[in-house]
Structure 1
């Protein structure tokens, strides 16, 4: 019995970590413009809020499955989030205001909640209805995600191109959520299988073009 429980916990932790890569990216992106002394605080508070939302979503997982177009709507919400994260503040000295600090926390929580729909449903399924397993898995994996987001944030400071890579990952996630929605996905497949690949690619392209043009406009 104990071995079966430990095995289930391990499975959920691994699933959490595999699914949480994009979450670590969004945390790093959202906090990157903050001064160093506020960056860690924003990461911790944002992640704490995300855990609370994720836990509540897991409790409602069965109900969430019945909401039509939920996954597609989540994907649409994620597109402007990806665009917003590409906007680099012109003067980092202004980012230490309460607006920038709480704005980063809000972005982390909203993006994690939207991106967590798939994760919650997958983990709830793996836990076979055992909510304790889900909570244990979250408690173990979240610190690893936070640690990973700090590393990603440092790499983004050294290699700014990674900001575009991160935004591209979020845009791809948004497109994937739309095309894998049960209702919209079925319709797209009936029209053409190519659309399930073409739509995410198009969204990635549009987000990256937006980021490039907005950055070019600021330089002028």
Structure 2
């Protein structure tokens, strides 16, 4: 094994450790509302689908490196995933429903499709087109992804506030992908790293505020609204009747 190959292997290991962590955060967030049994199923089934898609992406890595719009589209999709993870609906009382498990699996697969782009593009660059090194990077990323996801899901179950930190990382990744897309990069200078983190923080706060607002509105039962309006109308009628009697 040559020095160049060893350097490539080292680079791939570092890339997988760093970038697969983001994927694990998203998968852990997607499975956070499930029971321990369904959470494991979602991670395994979703991971199995993601592995198949990663194999496809790995085979296409050399072509993906310079494809315009690819990271731009991926970044936009990540914003949508961030919203889905914070949107109201689906509490702990619904974790046993098959639809909830299926939604978690779909979210996991979609998240991995999008977030694997930066991972595979980076690994493809480090491998310099060597198929064996590309496969090495793929095989290494799978246990990091699945084992890390289970740990993150458990932490989110115990500390729900970590969800917002995960969404922050997700949005930062989305912004980074957008500015690194060849189409955008050739036309707009990438902001400093601190500016990207600040923008990600503001966007996370905005999404959280909208989500919480919708959650508060949805939490008010329709019957309660109708009763309140009826009570208000009744009180108004009593006031008018009293005024008429005094006359």
| Band the TM-score falls in, shorter-chain normalisation | 0.7 to 0.9
Moved more, 135-144 or 22-31: 135-144
Q: Partners of 1:180 and 1:209 in 2: how far apart?
A: 28
Distance 1:215 1:155, change over 3 A: farther
5 Å matches for 1:171-186?
Answer: 171-186=171-186
1:126 aligns with: 126
TM-score, normalization: structure 2? 0.77
Q: Partners of 1:6 and 1:188 in 2: how far apart?
A: 36
Larger radius of gyration: 2
Q: Partners of 1:66 and 1:107 in 2: how far apart?
A: 27
Distance 1:217 1:93, change over 3 A: same
Structure 1 residue 84 displacement after superposition: 0.6
2:75 aligns with: 75
Q: Partners of 2:89 and 2:191 in 1: how far apart?
A: 40
Distance 1:203 1:183, change over 3 A: farther
Distance 1:63 1:11, change over 3 A: closer
2:154 aligns with: 154
Moved more, 109-118 or 10-19: 10-19
The reply on whether 1:41 has 2:36 as its aligned counterpart is no
1:103 aligns with: 103
Q: Partners of 2:122 and 2:15 in 1: how far apart?
A: 8
Structure 1 residue 177 displacement after superposition: 1.4
Moved more, 196-205 or 112-121: 196-205
The reply on whether 1:62 has 2:62 as its aligned counterpart is yes
2:137 aligns with: 137
Q: Partners of 2:159 and 2:30 in 1: how far apart?
A: 16
RMSD: 2.6
Structure 1 residue 208 displacement after superposition: 2.9
Structure 1 residue 87 displacement after superposition: 3.0
Q: Partners of 1:66 and 1:137 in 2: how far apart?
A: 19
Distance 1:4 1:193, change over 3 A: closer
Structure 1 residue 11 displacement after superposition: 3.2
Structure 1 residue 219 displacement after superposition: 4.2
Aligned length, in residue pairs = 218
Moved more, 127-136 or 17-26: 127-136
Distance 1:30 1:4, change over 3 A: same
Distance 1:176 1:201, change over 3 A: farther
Distance 1:174 1:165, change over 3 A: same
Q: Partners of 1:137 and 1:180 in 2: how far apart?
A: 21
TM-score, normalization: structure 1? 0.86
Q: Is the 8 A contact 1:17 1:145 kept in 2?
A: no
Moved more, 202-211 or 45-54: 202-211
Q: Partners of 2:8 and 2:66 in 1: how far apart?
A: 26
